[in-house]
Amino acid sequence: MSNDNPEYYKAPRASRTSRKVTLKSTVSSRGFLWNHTSDRWAGYESTLERDFLTILNVRSDVKLWQEQPEPVTYVDDQGKRRTHTFDVSVHLFNGETVACDVKPQKRLVRSGIEEVHRLIRRQHPDYADKFLIRTDRHISRVLVRNAELFLRARTLRDEESIEELRRHLISMHGVYRLASLVALLNDQAAGFNAVLNLIDSRELKPVTRGSINDNIELEICKAV
């Protein structure tokens, strides 16, 4: 992307988190990442949470996500009022809202989060359409790495390279290795990013699941 483009740089806006994310911690990795759905900084309180938010940034069905949304109050089985802040609220293009929490699999039972979700779902059924708990079993390194590649390609997006690749693909049909599509452009780095951009826009579709690499097979899935 040319730095003459007004979209090249967007001034950062503060997170809308309902509570302050404390960066200092001796037990978890904390920080901020860019929320591509709202153009705001977003705080995370663990590496696993950061990875989940990274994946959300490239999901085609996600319209908007908000970390640490407004807390919800519920009553536990002993009659005590408690509050819970979900890790992230996800708004989908189909109109659904999904309330999510992220926990390491080994701490899932001990955290009691499944019971919290059960109580909130029963007492506040309109809070969200779905309530999900995501662990490291769902948030694989492959998904995270692929998401990071797509986000990098968006940052380095070059329309001339994308259009050049599209011109080649007009007369092509079927399935091709990623490396063979990259080779269509003289600049291999630009070609790689252009291929990622077209996967991101659903103009190319991976035939099988797995890491995005030179050997992955891609289908030309619509007229370009």
Lowest mean per-residue pLDDT among 16-25, 76-85, 131-140, 152-161: 16-25
Which residues touch 70 (CB under 8 Å, ≥6 apart)? 18, 85
- Of 104, 217, 198, the C-alpha closest to 153 is 198
CATH 1.10.10.580 in the chain: give the residue spans. Answer: 157-220
Both structure tokens of 129? 């359409």
Centre a 10 Å sphere on the Cβ of residue 187 and count the other Cβ atoms it contains: 13
CA distance 133 to 138: 9
203, 223 contact by CB (below 8 A): no
Instruction: Write out the residue limits of the CATH 3.40.1350.10 domain(s) in the chain.
Output: 31-134
Indicate if the pLDDT at residue 119 is higher than 50.
yes
* Domain 157-220, CATH homologous superfamily name and number: Structural maintenance of chromosome 1. Chain E (1.10.10.580)
Note the pLDDT of residue 24: 61
pLDDT tens, position by position, 28-75: 678 889 999 999 999 999 999 999 999 999 999 999 999 999 999 999
Q: What's residue 20's pLDDT?
A: 66
Beta pairing, strands 88-92 & 62-67: antiparallel
33 bridge partner residues: 42
Architecture of domain 31-134: 3-Layer(aba) Sandwich (3.40)
Query: In terms of DSSP H, where are the helices of the chain?
Result: 47-56, 108-111, 113-123, 141-155, 159-169, 178-182, 188-200
